[in-house]
Chain A
Amino acid sequence: MLRYILKRLLQMVPKLILISMITFGISKLAPGDYLTQLENNPTISQRQIDAERHRLGLDQPVAVQYVRWAENFATGNLGMSFDYHERVSALIWLRLKATLLLGGCAMLFTWLISLPLGIYMAVKQYSWFEKIASSITFLFLGVPDFFLGILLLLAAAMANQAFHHEVVPIGGMTSVNFATEGLLAKAGDLALHLVIPVVTVSIGSVAILQRRMRGNLLDVLGEDYVRTARAKGLPERTVIYRHAVRNALNPMITLLGFDFAALLSGYAVIENIVGWPGLGQLMLDALLRQDLNLAMAGLMIGALMLLMGNLLADVLLAFSDPRIRLEA
């Protein structure tokens, strides 16, 4: 197993190199560079712009710029952000907490809702509840997350205006007096700020996961061993919850790997729409402003997380299904 993981990790290296080359190249295809924005400022002299371009190395050929960047990156030096005059790693560190919190809460929310719902809907197949719930999930499957975010913000804005005070916070992660509050008040404050972002990013996944869970359980319920268990006269409750659910859950575990991939960069743009102070805003801005080192760091984190997520999914699959052997 360890050898397998090690091999997969090694395989990632050439992939990451190729990805970094292509993304670097593409980001250089865009017209101008970070300093172009300064060129339209009447108070800056050409000399200053040229000196700065030289200092940032933007006057070099793309290949040279790439090699420089790659050398630094390989040694763990993410470089300086042009825009912030700050180490990229420090900038990422500042925002990481918020993004992880959102990702973690979204994951928790998704799994806690979708699994029980999926199980219940499989057990109560053809009931009214199942039909209604099924239609609702389908609807949520069709509502784009950005649109849901807009609708939730609108609802919150209406509520706030009606009450003339902030009932549901719009944007942000904590209130200003957060630092001086008690533990309970802190948790409450965080939870309130999390409502809109978490619901926005996870409703779609809840719908998908719930359908998977339900499908899996229905499959398992049709298997021979379940029929045998029933025939043996075991109580229905025991059959479903002790045997069937456990087996239906196994394939779900692999999906955790994909959730992991989304943890750091999966919600970037939604963070922007709902105003969550995470990495998303930082990275999107960096990309649009051609803040090269920061943007590349974001892109590479995204790629790395996807690759790691895939690996995690495979490893989890091997754990959950003893029939699968990972070949080293």
Chain B
Amino acid sequence: MIRHFARRPMRACAAVLLASSLLACAPQKASVTSSADTATAAAPTKVDVEPPLVEPPPKDAVDPGIGKYGGTLTSALVSDPKTFNIVLAQETSSTTPLGFIFESLVEPNYLTGEMQPDLAYKWTLAPDRETYTFTLRKGLRWSDGAPLTADDVAFTFNSIIFNRKIPTDLRDVLEVDGQLPTVKELDPLHIQIKTPKPFAPFLRELGAVSILPKHALLGATKLDAQGNPEFNHMWGVSTNVRKIPASGPFAFDRYVPAQYIVFKRNPYYFRVDSKGNRLPYLNKLVLEIVKDQNTGLLKFQSGETDMLFVDAPLRGEDFAAMQKQEQAGNFTIYKAGPDFGTFFLCFNQNSGTDLQGHPYVNPVKLKWFRDVRFRQALAHAIDKQSIIRNVFQGIAIPQIAAESQTSPFYDPNVPTYDYNLTEAQNLLAKAGYKKDSRGVLRDSTGHRVAFTLYTNSENNERMQIAGMIVDDLKRLGIKVNFQPLTFNTMVEKTSTSLDWDAVLMGFTGGLEPELGANIWLSKGRLHMFNQYLPGRVKGWTAQPWELQIDKLFEEGATTFDENKRKEVYDKYQVIAAKELPYIYIVNRIQLYPVRNVFGNLAVTPIGGPVWNIWGLYRTDLK
């Protein structure tokens, strides 16, 4: 029941859902005529933003063209938002609806993942590789009519995000070596941001910061009776949502807790179509809040919603039933490629002892876990295809590299491990393991190979995968004691008490490899398989390949050329795949069912179905 959420990457996803595209190469469709009457009726006549963001219809879209104004898009949200304060928001149920409301300086491209203009239409990086200067569009307005200027940008960073009394991980993301960048308002249209040292991922990480309306947050930095800034309890779920000004395509209209959120069109949105009509086309956006995926599915099946969810794809187990209804229900299931979530099996390779000198991992077991041939043999013995089939009903693919397939940094050429028991047995034999007469695997010193596997019981998929891994490894003669734990217990074991053999879990990834630095740097906070805990672990050592990865991450963070960066991160993915600290299992494939009534629909792996919600229009309007 507890959602395992990784905060920042999801935020990235949510921001990406709204990613814009500047496909300069896309041909403009002159043949499609816009219905001028409806356009003038619904949209303000004059577009006063300079320059407006011109959006040609996306390539490969359904019914691409100039849309008609009006209509509503109804979809569902898998759980209730917890706050409308985007700086404090942590889970997709909060960040997704807010993604329709707020924009950033820059944003990732929905197709390539590269950074492109948003509120700022251009930027420069000085030769010191530390100083960025952003130029905002002229005439930007919040949905309440107030101007959006560099003052808002400076306020967002200096008063809110860099305020240490406000709990937000955005600060962590922007920090370079523990130091914050400096943000300076040069004039109402220009902003200068200086990082403490050259940091290549910085621009992408700026994309996660939504610019806040200063005029609506007056008094936010005042301290309350407990000494916390008022901001910490502003814009909670009991706020009148109409008072939250929007810079995105939609503004809040109504929120009924646990039932629905209604959005109305933002009349001052800065994006226009290729004819210069102000976007969005849709008049209203309705998100019904459902208690779980099942209810959402039933709502879609009964025709209540046009799109299954805005914050989650269709589950594999529901695909078969849904596919049968495509025609009768007048919808199409779009496939959008693998998602960012991972499932992996990880062994504790910590050679350290506690302060009394007791080893955290039994030395016999440590020898197995640190043996790369052991890990490789196990990777060969896990039958990913039947996991895909049984747990994901076929809607998944094997994961091979450490970076997600959807990421621009994904390296498809890493060593892979197909399901091959002979190969697994060969590797084990080479490493000195033998099966005895009763089929029990023993190491070279005669110890029986057996270990405990933990996973968290709240996650059904992990529970099922763990069960299958136990069966698979039985074939090698390995005894796995499978032990489900609560999520919190599992985390305590892997991060503090370190008394674990193996875990099955997952992290949510993102477009930017640097987001995984905490996992991969040998002294990182989540370097789980060999946790560095000063003051608790004595005699901790990093293996040579771990140090190699450290170097590559350092190099990647200071390489500004994207192609060269990719080469650097390719190298780390090869090492990761060879050494297998994480034996990756599968990636889910994202499927999005959408009713056949939207033009300009272009479902993408990064952005899902609503990244270009400003361009969607209903084809069934009279």
Select the stretch in B42-50, B361-369, B483-491 that faces chain A: B483-491
Q: Which of B81-89, B466-474, B573-581, B584-592 contacts A (4 or more CB under 8 A)?
A: B81-89
User: Could you tell me if B259 and A43 are in contact, using CB atoms closer than 8 angstroms?
Assistant: no
Question: In the bound complex, do residue B88 and residue A85 qualify as a contact, i.e. CB atoms below 8 Å apart?
Answer: yes
Is A84's CB under 8 angstroms from B82's CB? Answer: yes
List B residues at the A interface (Cβ < 8 Å).
Answer: 1-2, 4-9, 74, 80, 82-83, 85, 88, 90, 164-165, 167, 169, 171-173, 175, 178, 228, 232-233, 236-238, 254, 256-260, 262, 286, 288-292, 295, 298-299, 301-304, 328-329, 486-489, 491-492, 495, 505, 507, 515-519, 525-526
Whether A36 pairs with B302 at a CB distance below 8 angstroms is: no
A51-B167 CB under 8 A given contacts A85-B236, A172-B259:
yes
Known: A85-B83, A277-B259. A38 touches B7 (CB 8 A): yes
Closest 4 CB pairs of A and B: A32-B488, A277-B258, A86-B236, A43-B8
Q: Quick one: closest B residue to A274, CB to CB? A: B291
With A41-B8, A43-B518, A277-B258 known as contacts, the answer to whether A166 contacts B232 (CB < 8 A) is: no
* Contact call B6/A43, Cβ cutoff below 8 A: yes
In the complex, A44→B304 CA distance in Å?
38
Chain B residues, CB < 8 A from A38: 7, 90, 169
Q: Is the CB of A288 within 8 A of B507?
A: no
The segment from A20-28, A91-99, A134-142, A236-244 that touches chain B is A91-99
| Chain B residues, CB < 8 A from A40 | 4, 6, 491, 495, 505, 507, 526
Asked if A289 is at the interface (CB within 8 A of a chain B CB), the reply is yes
Q: How far is the CB of B300 from chain A (nearest CB, A)?
A: 11
In the complex, which residues of chain B have a beta carbon less than 8 angstroms from the beta carbon of A84?
Answer: 82-83, 236-237
Give the residues in chain A near B167, CB-CB below 8 Å: 48, 51-52, 55
Segment 66-90 of A: residues with Cβ below 8 Å from B: 80, 83-87, 90
Let me know if A277 and B257 touch, CB within 8 A.
Answer: yes
A250 at the interface (CB under 8 A from B): no
Q: Which residue of A lies closest to B329 (CB)?
A: A164
Contact check, B295 vs A176: say whether CB atoms are below 8 A apart.
Answer: no
Q: Is A247 engaged at the interface, CB distance under 8 Å to the other chain?
A: no
A42 in the interface (beta carbon within 8 A): yes
A85 pairs with B85, CB closer than 8 A: yes
- Select A30's contact among B5, B85, B165, B488, beta carbons within 8 Å: B488
Smallest CB separation, B322 vs chain A (Å): 12
Asked whether A251 is an interface residue with its Cβ less than 8 Å from the other chain, the reply is: no
A269 shortest CB reach to chain B, Å = 12
Is A46 at the interface (CB under 8 A from chain B)? yes
Cα–Cα, bound, A90→B491 (Å)? 32
Which listed residue (B83, B232, B237, B519) contacts A42, Cβ 8 A? Answer: B519
Task: Please state if B238 and A91 are interface contacts (CB–CB under 8 Å).
Answer: yes
Chain A to chain B contacts (Cβ below 8 Å), 20 pairs = A31-B488, A37-B4, A37-B487, A37-B488, A42-B6, A43-B9, A43-B169, A46-B525, A47-B172, A55-B167, A87-B238, A157-B298, A166-B303, A172-B259, A172-B288, A172-B289, A277-B259, A288-B1, A288-B2, A290-B488
Size class of the contact patch on chain A: 35 or more
CB distance from B266 to the nearest CB of A (A): 20
Given A38-B7, A48-B172, A83-B82; A166-B489 close (CB under 8 Å)? no
Residues in A whose Cβ lies below 8 Å from that of B488: 30-33, 36-37, 290
Q: Is the CB of A94 within 8 A of B254?
A: no
A161 part of interface (Cβ distance < 8 Å): yes
Determine if B256 and A171 form an interchain contact, defined as CB atoms under 8 angstroms apart.
no
Set of chain A residues within 8 Å of B90, measured between Cβ atoms: 38
- Please give the distance in Å from A89's CB to the nearest CB on chain B: 9
Query: A272 at the A/B interface (Cβ < 8 Å)?
Result: yes
Q: How far is the CB of A111 from chain B (nearest CB, A)?
A: 28
Q: Which residues of A contact B301 (CB under 8 A)?
A: 157, 160-161
With CB as the reference atom, state the residue of chain A lying closest to B328: A164
- Whether, in the assembled complex, A2 has its beta carbon less than 8 Å from a beta carbon of chain B, the answer is no
Are B491 and A86 interface neighbours, CB within 8 A?
A: no
For the complex, is A59 an interface residue (Cβ under 8 Å from B)?
Answer: no
Q: Answer whether residue A245 sits at the interface, using C-beta atoms and an 8 A cutoff.
A: no
